[in-house]
Amino acid sequence: MLLRSWITFSAVIALLQAVVGLLSVLQHNAVLSDLLRQRISVIAQMTATSFKPIIDLGLPISMIRGGDAIVARALEIDDQVKAVHALNPSGIIVYTTDASRPKEVPHEVLQAMLLSKSVNWSTETGEQIYSGFNVVGRDGATSGAVVVTYPKDRLEASSQALVSKVVRTALLIWAAFSALSYLLLRLLLGTPQRRLARLENVARGEPDADIGTDGKLPTSGPGAFWRDLFGPQIRQLGANLADARRQYDEASRELGAFASPVAEDSRPEGADTVVATGPAAETEIASNPLRSLARQIASRLAPLAAVLMVSSALILGVITLGNVNRSIEPELSARTNLIATVVGEDVQRALATGVPLDGLVNAEGFFADMLEQLPEIAYVAVATGRVVLEVGTPIDPYLAPPRVRKGVRSHPIIHDGKEIAYVVIDVDPAFISKKFLDVFLDMGVVVVVAVLMAFEIMVLMTSRSLTAALDRLQRLAAMQAAGDFSKRVVVGAHIAIDRAAQILVERTEGLSAQFGAAWQGVDGSGARGARLATLQARYGLSLNGPTTLRFSYFTDLRLALFLFAAADELPLSFMPLYTRAAHNPFPWLSESVLISLPLGGYLLAIVLVSPFARPLVHWLGPRRLLILAAAPTITAHLWLYWATNVPEIVASRSILGVGYAFVTLACQDYVIDNTPRDERDRSLGMFSKVLFGGIFCGTALGGVLADRLGKANVFLLSATFVLISALLIFSLVGDTASRRDGPRAKASRPPLLASLRNRHFAALVFGIAIPGNICLQAFICYLVALTLDSLGASPADIGRTLMVNFLAIALVGPLAGRAAEQGIPVTAVALSGGILCGISLLTAAVWPSQIAIFLAVLGSGIGSGMVRGAQVSLSMSIAETELKHLGADPVLGALRTIERFASIAGLLMVAALAGLYGYAIATATVAALSLGGAMLFGISVLGKSGAGPGSRPMS
């Protein structure tokens, strides 16, 4: 037990270190790539400015003389620039520094230029980074662009250096925490392991076997807690094994009596006693008892595992954060030097044409535009002992002509071999701090995602390597101690626990063989037959042999569910952007509505197939349905990877909706069917936590990976996650009977109209349920990504913002339930949640910014968490009272169907408004729906006479 637990802990910590390290390197590459693009954009802007006067005259970019010389100047600014191109609006290269003189830019570059909402844009391929700046004429039309090509050698070198540091650090941390985990596990499990090791001898019935105490070890005083940990439970298990041995000896002795000749049967003629010979099931699914020894050991190991994982991940994250900051510092310095070089060369060029230094005009405007690309530069000035021209606001209040000031950089301007002026650059420390803060937040996301994934793997590995063996032994020992030898289990022989269980299995099979031999020696009637029938009933014996028990655990399913949920949500942060970039074969359709179609198809598929999920589970069994649903889901993710137009994306997302409905509902039914009734609420609560944990991790991880690997490649990871999930289901989940011989369940139509005739139910649907779903689908899944993208946020920023919503739902949901248990009316909880959601969105609509969107997402998550449980409780209360004649399940089905159809209609409506009036108006519309719905629901509650069902607290 100790060795297995230590191997599990060490393996999971190693996996955690690998995940944190990998994601940290990816995030470092994304940050450094972004900084490189911004710096290269300044070079592109400087070059594009030279083409602007001709473009303003209405001439095409190809009419400029000396265009090759203009683009060649960029090479003098940065010798690492590979090539500079000037191109027309269709992507045809007009001027270039590339000796091979390519005819056009790559497709990815042209697509980035066409989709860009601003004059500066960037993209990258496997080998190059491209940064462009559009040349816009007086009429506002794009007449061309300048593209700077930069090799990724510097990025790859920095990445490799960071990888080397991360690997060394991770190995040291892993070795240290592996050793620490062994010491802690030895303290925690050392004594229980020694006692459990003796179980094999106890099971054999050896007289010297004793697991009650550990010799001379004291049972009180310092350290007694650890020495006697799980002592009572292990002693009870030992007592059961001893009783099982006695029951076996007695059963074997009584059955052995049938092996010898006996006297003539004295039972009267005609008295028949038939031994029951009904066939026994070959395999039986057994659930895990709530207070089993295995669960108690796992409950002690889980906090220890969590502390070790979080600590090791945080240490690696903090050390890696310092390495990342040191890695990007040279790039920040290079950006400052670039500004000085550009300003100095422009001044020198002006002086060479005879323009005096004091006669420079329009320089401030040019430098101000350039500084927008490098926001960390707060102030730039050209000075000769006095300030000649300046742009920005100085950070240092004493910023003035003196050459040397602490924290302020100066660069000389040389003309005719003499220094005639110098450039003063003031860097905003707040921006640098913010950039490092962004890196810290991204690292925090990486650590959280890695810890959650590692914890799920830890739970599964602990269950398979330790707790499952204990459960098997404890169940068999308890049954045989009570004289029940009807069951057997499949065990290995690797550890003492398995060997003890194997002894019990051999006894069961031995008694079954004895019973079969005895049965052949009697004719089923008379006194001997009667005694044999009594023994059969007493010891649970069967001619068909013992039934094989296969234990059913939610832990068998939870990692598969977690990975599937994560795979489904990986594209959430960029799916609208991915759809917008695809080819649109319907130019007559508004772009905003077009972008919403994949999500609409996904939701519609869920609505249409959900009624058929339970009948299919009833017919096929959860395991088979889960495996069958995985194949089209994997295909759909791969289709998204290769998709080039919007119809393909819509079709593949619709298939994903079908897969999501089948998988989640089949998992839920598996939990319900294989969990004792008194443990069902706990297991369903764990199901929801694992599902939201996967959604949370997928949302956060998808944005980080899209920033580094590209949006399309994320779908390959999604397909991989689903494949791993299917393999886990195939190998771990029990194949419950599919009940094909029984009546096949049919999908029934929910009573939509009959339910809506009740005004309280209608107020709940239209006031709480529908606005809440529209907020989730139209705002969270649609508007947030588009709004943040328009504000300049990256996919990683979008993912980090969206994950707050699901985190808030997961945390607030249980708290809202507890508030209701404390006497707060459920109606007040639901009403407060709706109002909070509406106010949060309204604030973001009035003051659109990244921080406002973040707060709106957080507020809507808190509101949704409050509404989620309250909505179910209120609907159940109405279904059990005012709509009792319809039944609870049909009423809940009507609620789900109505809110899902309404969310699709609301999504399309909001998308149309976004196209016509902008994202702020669309967000305000969703806020108005939430506030209006809350008002409607509040009026319904106030108008309710007496103590109606809506005032009942959640149970």
Q: Give me the CATH number covering residue 47.
A: 3.30.450.20
In a domain, 442, yes or no: no
63 plus 90 within the same structural domain:
yes
pLDDT band at 264 (very low <50, low <70, confident <90, very high): very low
In a domain, 561, yes or no: no
Helix (H, G, I), strand (E, B) or coil at 215: coil
User: What's the number of domains the chain is made of?
Assistant: 5
Dihedral of the CA atoms 692, 697, 698, 704 (nearest 10)?
A: 160
Predicted confidence at residue 292, as pLDDT, reads: 52
User: Does the pTM of the predicted model rise above 0.85?
Assistant: no
Residue 218 has pLDDT above 60, yes or no: no
Q: Which H, E and C letters describe 795-826, residue by residue?
A: HHHHHHHHHHHHHHHHHHHHHHHHHHHCCCCH
**CA triple 805-807-811, angle to 5 deg:** 120
Percent of the chain's residues with pLDDT above 90:
19
**Average pLDDT rounded to a whole number, residues 357-368:** 66
Domain extent, residue 654, equals 572-736
In a domain, 96, yes or no: yes
Residues 128 and 152: beta-carbon distance below 8 Å: yes
Q: Structure tokens of 571? A: 């594209």
Max mean pLDDT among 271-280, 450-459, 490-499, 644-653 falls in 644-653
| The one-letter amino acid at 527 | A
810 plus 890 within the same structural domain:
yes
483 plus 429 within the same structural domain:
no
- Name the least confident of 1-5, 14-18, 724-728: 1-5
Predicted confidence at residue 222, as pLDDT, reads: 44
Q: Structure tokens of 730? A: 């195939």
304 plus 427 within the same structural domain:
no
**Average pLDDT rounded to a whole number, residues 409-415:** 70
pLDDT band at 238 (very low <50, low <70, confident <90, very high): confident
Residue 812 has pLDDT above 60, yes or no: yes
Predicted confidence at residue 944, as pLDDT, reads: 60
543 plus 628 within the same structural domain:
no
Predicted confidence at residue 344, as pLDDT, reads: 76
**Could you tell me if residue 267 is left (phi over 0), alpha (psi between -120 and 50 degrees) or otherwise beta?**
beta
Rounded to whole angstroms, how far apart are CA atoms 672 and 614?
12
pLDDT band at 5 (very low <50, low <70, confident <90, very high): confident
Residue 254 has pLDDT above 80, yes or no: yes
Residue 160: how many CB atoms within 10 A of its CB?
11
Q: Structure tokens of 236? A: 């009870």
340 plus 307 within the same structural domain:
no
In a domain, 293, yes or no: yes
Predicted confidence at residue 910, as pLDDT, reads: 94
Predicted confidence at residue 604, as pLDDT, reads: 93
487 CB contacts (<8 Å, ≥6 apart)? 284, 475, 476, 479, 508, 540, 546, 547, 548, 549
Predicted confidence at residue 700, as pLDDT, reads: 83
Mean pLDDT score across all residues of the chain: 79
Residue 274 has pLDDT above 60, yes or no: no
Q: Structure tokens of 732? A: 């771990």
**Average pLDDT rounded to a whole number, residues 777-792:** 91
Helix (H, G, I), strand (E, B) or coil at 405: strand
The closest of 882, 847, 844, 618 to 738, measured between CA atoms, is 618
Query: 288-301 pLDDT, tens per residue?
Result: 554 455 556 666 77
Q: When comparing pLDDT for 121 and 741, which is higher?
A: 121
In a domain, 743, yes or no: no
216 CB contacts (<8 Å, ≥6 apart)? none
In a domain, 558, yes or no: no
The closest of 490, 455, 190 to 309, measured between CA atoms, is 455
- Residue 132 forms beta bridges with which residues? 121, 147
337 plus 380 within the same structural domain:
yes
Predicted confidence at residue 634, as pLDDT, reads: 95
Residue 137: how many CB atoms within 10 A of its CB?
17
Final residue in a domain of this structure, among 518, 551, 584: 551
Rg, C-alpha atoms of the chain: 36
716 plus 622 within the same structural domain:
yes
Residue 494 has pLDDT above 90, yes or no: no
Predicted confidence at residue 557, as pLDDT, reads: 82
Helix (H, G, I), strand (E, B) or coil at 218: coil
Report the residue count for the chain.
955
Residue 404 has pLDDT above 50, yes or no: no
Percent of the chain's residues with pLDDT above 70:
80
In a domain, 909, yes or no: yes
- Name the least confident of 154-158, 857-861, 909-913: 154-158
Predicted confidence at residue 742, as pLDDT, reads: 45
Q: Structure tokens of 47? A: 């070059």
Residue 397 has pLDDT above 60, yes or no: no
SS3 of the chain: helix, strand, coil, percent, to 5: 70, 10, 25
**CA triple 567-568-573, angle to 5 deg:** 95
Paired sense of beta strands 283-287 and 547-552, if any:
parallel
719 plus 768 within the same structural domain:
no
754 plus 730 within the same structural domain:
no
Residue 943 has pLDDT above 80, yes or no: no
Residue 605: how many CB atoms within 10 A of its CB?
19
Q: When comparing pLDDT for 366 and 268, which is higher?
A: 366
| The one-letter amino acid at 266 | S
Predicted confidence at residue 821, as pLDDT, reads: 63
199 plus 297 within the same structural domain:
yes
Rounded to whole angstroms, how far apart are CA atoms 117 and 621?
51
Query: 126-137 pLDDT, tens per residue?
Result: 788 899 998 888
**CA triple 674-296-313, angle to 5 deg:** 100
Final residue in a domain of this structure, among 519, 551, 583: 551
pLDDT band at 876 (very low <50, low <70, confident <90, very high): confident
Rounded to whole angstroms, how far apart are CA atoms 454 and 562?
11
Query: 828-860 pLDDT, tens per residue?
Result: 888 999 999 999 999 999 998 989 999 999 999
Q: Structure tokens of 744? A: 């096949």
**Average pLDDT rounded to a whole number, residues 647-652:** 95
CA torsion sign for 791, 795, 800, 802 is positive
Rounded to whole angstroms, how far apart are CA atoms 845 and 331?
36
Domain holding 651: CATH number? 1.20.1250.20
Distances (CA, A) of 841 to 178, 852, 860, 921, 931: 47, 9, 7, 11, 10
295 plus 196 within the same structural domain:
yes
- Please report which residue ranges of 545-645 form alpha helices under DSSP H: 555-569, 575-581, 591-620, 622-642
Residue 168 has pLDDT above 90, yes or no: yes
Q: When comparing pLDDT for 915 and 427, which is higher?
A: 915
Q: Structure tokens of 191? A: 């004594």
Place of tokens 């009267």: 268
Predicted confidence at residue 406, as pLDDT, reads: 42
In a domain, 33, yes or no: yes
